[in-house]
Chains A and B, each alone.
Chain A
Amino acid sequence: MGVLQPAAQEKTGKIKNSRTSDTVMEFIMYVIAAVFLLILIYPLFFIVIASFSDPSAVAGGQVWLFPKGFTLDGYKELLRHDNIWTGYRNTILYTVIGTVIGLAVNISAAYALSRKDLTGRKYISLYFIFTMFFNGGLIPTFLTIRDFQLYDTFLVMVLPFSVGVYNIIVARTFFQTSIPGDLWEAAQIDGCGNLRYFARVVLPLSKAIVAVLGLWIAVGYWNSYFNALIYLKNPDMYPLQLILRNILITNQMQSGMGTGEAAQIALRLANMMRYSVIIVATVPIMCVYPFVQKYFNQGVMIGAVKE
């Protein structure tokens, strides 16, 4: 089977051109690129160094390139908050299970839709695509979820919104362009049915699209708070993002505190924690993506463009 692997061709370099206008253009371009990089990286870098710095130095504008008054107090404070850890656990559960369900549902539907000999293909596609442009809206969807007794359950976090039409379109295009049709004919002659062909032949050839969609879906689950906000009531089931919202944005830590020195310290710790909590919540997902990035070319690019 190895021979049939879709060849990921790197584009060969363009012909060099040594004219001065080109050199000038190149120079300007790299300057713009450098400035752009700085604007992207610096705020992220700042959060990292601020999380290790004395908060009064951060607030006083003394932290620019290196941490000032190195401290781990923000992280220590974080360790004491149990709800962050239950949130972490919940998010991991939702992400892993949601991604498995999402991949299974979307990849298999996409493959079926990629087959030209699927009778009614056009109408089935339309059935899915229509939901991209028209939907019941918040309240009718909420009522539906409640009617199905899914409100405040584990299932509501991983099942109802697992069909991603955009994902299906991208994967469908991938299958159309990179799985040769002759393969199916050959398999058929050998007496192989659709399901076995899909599992044994198509999937092993489609690691790129599985990796890319898996990343998209996982990032979606890892980062989502809206469904939890609407469909969950029990705080023990809250995902990390909902807990982060309370710490970072609505600032519940600070409310209900008295004045005086104790309150000052509490406020200080809460402020420190805001930096470290950002790091702790973001680093895991950032760690995954470089591993999947190498598939972007094969996966997204083929999938998205030749629509």
Chain B
Amino acid sequence: MKSGHRRPGRTWGQIKRNWGLYALLFPAAVLTLLFAYKPMYGVLIAFKDYSPALGITDSPWAGFKYFEKFFHSYQFSSTIKNTLIISVYSLITFPIPVMLALMVNQMRPNRFRRFFQTVSYMPHFISTVVMVGLMMILLSPSTGLVGNLYSLFGKEAPDLMGSAGWFSSVYVWSDVWQHVGWDSIIFIAALSAVDPSLYEAATVDGASRWHKVRYIDIPMLMPTAITLLILRVGGLLGVGFEKVYLMQNDLNATSSEILSTYVYKIGLLSSQYSFSSAINLFNTVINFILLIMVNQISKKLSENSLW
């Protein structure tokens, strides 16, 4: 591509000539403006005493009142701790889809491999509601599959859904169960881009299958894996609302209240709009900082980065 100054006349000419492309972009751009950027302006209410009668612009300023209120509330450390435990725990399971992809890649392209992949994607299509319903049924210590398994060995089953100590494990491993196949697709795709002549050369050099995995497949996966890992770390405090909210009950409350469920309860259930927005904004800002930091580190260490 040629560098140097582009004359404004040419730029306008090009825009005019390609007006059709801008027409194609228009709906998405408008929807993004209305439903993603306009709410960003609403973030201001975190710094205001928002009253619906006055609206966002005219409500009086409150400074950092609501942030301080959050930092001093007894929920502060517990929600942050719970959020962090769940997200770091999930992060640790990150290599599992990678390993699955390496394994699938070793299978010969035959019926078993197709069947294996079809089945491993399947749980991904179960809705969160059904998934949590499934877990409640299967993990029930009295009537569920787990309960029955335990009684088969004459033991008492733990109440997995109804105890604070089990909450994070149940959350994370059920997620692995549901999405591991799906998450591996992208790595399988990356592996399918490996030049077959690399394997041939390795075979000539006497490499075993394990060597090929170790020295060809794994390095090939690194860029994709790191990109995805950065994105995951960027969302470290952004543990999804949906599943946690559905899994919550009185028995596991001490370890299941996370930032997003707290924001929902404070905001929509008890209508403290400004307070809720402050907590939300705090969450978003931390995530954003984390993302930038991790991206920076990755840029230095491996030359992989999002931007």
Spell out A's residues near B (CB within 8 Å). 10-15, 17, 19, 21-22, 25-26, 29-30, 32-33, 36-37, 39-41, 43-44, 46-47, 58-59, 61, 104-106, 108-109, 111-113, 115, 117-120, 124, 127-128, 131, 133-145, 148, 159-163, 168, 193-195, 197-198, 219, 222-226, 230, 241-242, 244-245, 248-249, 271, 274-275, 278, 281-282, 285-286, 289-290, 293, 296-297, 300-302, 304-307
Do residues B273 and A143 form an inter-chain contact, with CB atoms below 8 A? yes
Among residues of B, the one whose C-beta sits closest to the C-beta of A287 is B125
* Given A144-B38, A248-B132: A230 and B109 interface contact (C-beta under 8 Å): no
B258 CB → nearest A CB, Å: 13
Spell out B's residues near A (CB within 8 Å). 11, 14-15, 18-25, 27-29, 31-32, 34-43, 45, 56, 100, 103, 106-109, 112, 116, 118-123, 125-130, 132-134, 136-138, 142-143, 145, 147-148, 151-152, 177, 181, 185-186, 188-190, 192-193, 196, 199-200, 203, 208-210, 224, 227, 234, 241-242, 246, 263-264, 267-268, 273, 276-277, 280-281, 283-284, 287-288, 291
Question: Please, how many angstroms separate the alpha-carbon atoms of A286 and B273 in the complex?
Answer: 39
A305 contacts which of B108, B125, B186 (Cβ < 8 Å)? B186
Residues of B within 8 A of A224 (CB): 127
Question: Please, how many angstroms separate the alpha-carbon atoms of A214 and B224 in the complex?
Answer: 24
Do residues A160 and B133 form an inter-chain contact, with CB atoms below 8 A? no
Do residues A119 and B14 form an inter-chain contact, with CB atoms below 8 A? yes
B25 contacts which of A112, A161, A197 (Cβ < 8 Å)? A112
B24 contacts which of A111, A248, A300 (Cβ < 8 Å)? A111
Do residues B208 and A19 form an inter-chain contact, with CB atoms below 8 A? yes
Do residues B109 and A139 form an inter-chain contact, with CB atoms below 8 A? no
How many residue pairs at the A-B interface have CB separations less than 8 Å? 280
Do residues B142 and A59 form an inter-chain contact, with CB atoms below 8 A? yes
Question: Please, how many angstroms separate the alpha-carbon atoms of A301 and B31 in the complex?
Answer: 28
Residues of B within 8 A of A40 (CB): 119-120, 122-123, 177, 181
Question: Please, how many angstroms separate the alpha-carbon atoms of A108 and B264 in the complex?
Answer: 34
Among residues of A, the one whose C-beta sits closest to the C-beta of B199 is A14
A246 CB → nearest B CB, Å: 10
Do residues B208 and A143 form an inter-chain contact, with CB atoms below 8 A? no
Among residues of B, the one whose C-beta sits closest to the C-beta of A126 is B307
Question: Please, how many angstroms separate the alpha-carbon atoms of A142 and B128 in the complex?
Answer: 22
B12 CB → nearest A CB, Å: 9
Do residues B121 and A139 form an inter-chain contact, with CB atoms below 8 A? no
B250 CB → nearest A CB, Å: 13
A137 contacts which of B120, B133, B190, B263 (Cβ < 8 Å)? B263
* Given A14-B196, A249-B246: A300 and B20 interface contact (C-beta under 8 Å): no
Do residues B34 and A300 form an inter-chain contact, with CB atoms below 8 A? no
Question: Please, how many angstroms separate the alpha-carbon atoms of A304 and B185 in the complex?
Answer: 10
Do residues B39 and A135 form an inter-chain contact, with CB atoms below 8 A? yes
* Given A21-B210, A124-B25, A127-B29: A143 and B287 interface contact (C-beta under 8 Å): no
Question: Please, how many angstroms separate the alpha-carbon atoms of A230 and B227 in the complex?
Answer: 33
Do residues A136 and B36 form an inter-chain contact, with CB atoms below 8 A? yes
Residues of B within 8 A of A17 (CB): 203, 208-209
Residues of B within 8 A of A43 (CB): 134, 138, 145
Among residues of B, the one whose C-beta sits closest to the C-beta of A141 is B39
B116 contacts which of A33, A105, A111 (Cβ < 8 Å)? A33
Question: Please, how many angstroms separate the alpha-carbon atoms of A76 and B19 in the complex?
Answer: 57
Do residues A300 and B185 form an inter-chain contact, with CB atoms below 8 A? yes
Do residues B130 and A244 form an inter-chain contact, with CB atoms below 8 A? yes
What are 27 inter-chain pairs, A to B, with CB distance below 8 A? A11-B196, A13-B108, A17-B203, A21-B208, A25-B208, A25-B209, A25-B210, A26-B209, A40-B119, A47-B137, A108-B25, A109-B25, A111-B21, A127-B29, A135-B284, A143-B273, A194-B23, A195-B20, A248-B130, A249-B133, A275-B137, A286-B122, A300-B189, A301-B185, A301-B188, A304-B189, A305-B190
Residues of A within 8 A of B147 (CB): 61
Residues of B within 8 A of A117 (CB): 14, 18
B272 CB → nearest A CB, Å: 9
Among residues of B, the one whose C-beta sits closest to the C-beta of A162 is B31
Residues of B within 8 A of A127 (CB): 29, 32
Among residues of A, the one whose C-beta sits closest to the C-beta of B246 is A249
Among residues of B, the one whose C-beta sits closest to the C-beta of A188 is B17
B118 CB → nearest A CB, Å: 7
B93 CB → nearest A CB, Å: 14
Question: Please, how many angstroms separate the alpha-carbon atoms of A297 and B113 in the complex?
Answer: 14
Q: Which 7 A-B pairs have the closest CB atoms?
A: A136-B39, A140-B42, A194-B20, A248-B133, A61-B148, A223-B127, A301-B189
Question: Please, how many angstroms separate the alpha-carbon atoms of A117 and B24 in the complex?
Answer: 14
For the complex with contacts A108-B27, A300-B189, 18 further pairs of A-B residues with Cβ separation under 8 Å are A15-B199, A17-B208, A22-B208, A47-B138, A109-B29, A119-B11, A136-B36, A136-B38, A137-B39, A138-B268, A141-B35, A144-B35, A160-B34, A195-B24, A223-B127, A225-B129, A248-B133, A304-B189
Among residues of B, the one whose C-beta sits closest to the C-beta of A230 is B268
Question: Please, how many angstroms separate the alpha-carbon atoms of A32 and B100 in the complex?
Answer: 10
